[in-house]
Amino acid sequence: MTTPKATRCGGSEFVWGSRTYVMGIINATPDSFSGDGLAYNVDAAVEQGKRFLVEGADILDVGGESTRPASTPVSVEEEFRRVIPVVERLAREPGAVISIDTYKAGVAERALDAGASMLNDVWGLKHDPALAELASRRGVPIVLMHNQSGTEYKNLLADLLTSLRLSVEGALKAGVSRENIIIDPGIGFGKTAEHNLEVLRRLEDLQTLGQPLLVGTSRKSTIGLVLDLPVEERLEGTAATVALAIAKGADIVRVHDVKAMVRVCRMADAIVRGWSRREGGRTR
């Protein structure tokens, strides 16, 4: 299956295969696993977003509910309170592309009204299928992530592919255009550390679905387990997973440390996608 060549998002166009795009994480939560939660501090979240844009982020992913294991779900009203002011202010920044990280259609629609132009659903339509209808009606891209309760699989990659295929088919059936569907294997969600490493090792298998691929490994517990390091010391481990994910076909990487990971992406892209001194050092 041929992957779409480009996706429009707000005022930007993502040309798949030309380079790796960087999504910067803005956690408008008090309980982020990575220790960077900025709930109720709108000014700090906005300043972080502005810094990410200067550092080279292509997308700002704003989320108001932690998805770490054993986190407490929050109400729609609470999620509004955390994310909508941040989205509204960041959307005024020139060139800012805002993604809303939520699995609730009500929150997603309010965020789109506030200026977001991409949906990021960690449940791949399995929690709230109405997100697909919303993405179709508003003509925005949607990230569909693999997730499940528990870590039991008959066959890890086959089960993951089947689940993502059902998510993609659900989006298409709701009227979402194929170029507006991005898939995410869900590193750290419903998987053991061994599962996460296997998914990364076999990431190219996901290309059979024919959709652009987002990968989020930043600071995750698998890196901590492998390297025996706390969350604040996982930069190098994240860099290794980002570079290898790009070599295996990632189109977008979702990260906390934008400045460093933009550099990792540029170097990996120069190897994977090509580089020419005559083009001013830019990847083709």
- At residue 69, the pLDDT reads 62
CATH number of the domain at 6-275, out of 3.40.50.2300, 3.20.20.20, 3.30.70.260, 3.40.50.300? 3.20.20.20
Set 104, 220, 234, 248: catalytic member: 220
- At residue 29, the pLDDT reads 83
Residue 282 confidence (pLDDT) above 70? no
The DSSP-derived string for 156-181 is HHHHHHHHHHHHHHHHHHTT--GGGE
Answer left, alpha or beta for residue 4, where phi above 0 means left and psi between -120 and 50 means alpha: beta
- At residue 283, the pLDDT reads 44
**DSSP designation for 151:** S
138: annotated active-site residue: no
Set 110, 126, 234, 254: catalytic member: 254
Q: How far is CA 122 from the centre of its chain?
A: 9
Q: Integer distance in angstroms from the first to the last C-alpha of the chain? A: 23
Residue 40 confidence (pLDDT) above 90? no
Mark out the alpha helices in the chain (DSSP H runs): 42-55, 76-90, 105-114, 130-138, 156-173, 193-201, 221-227, 235-247, 258-272
Cα 165 from Cα 146, distance rounded (Å)? 10
Residue with the bigger pLDDT between 284 and 181: it is 181
Tens of pLDDT, residues 22-37? 999 999 887 555 445 5
Tens of pLDDT, residues 191-223? 999 999 999 999 999 999 999 999 999 999 999
Domain ranges of the chain: 6-275
Percent of the chain having pLDDT more than 70? 93
- At residue 277, the pLDDT reads 81
Pick the range with the lowest mean pLDDT from 35-39, 47-51, 52-56, 258-262: 35-39
Tens of pLDDT, residues 118-167? 999 999 999 999 999 999 999 999 999 999 999 999 999 999 999 999 99
- C-beta separation of 53 from 61 below 8 A: no
Cα 228 from Cα 221, distance rounded (Å)? 10
Beta bridge partners of 27: 63
Q: Read off the pLDDT band of 284 (50, 70, 90).
A: very low
Element (H, E) at 215: strand 214-215
Cα 143 from Cα 102, distance rounded (Å)? 10
Q: Read off the pLDDT band of 74 (50, 70, 90).
A: confident
220: annotated active-site residue: yes
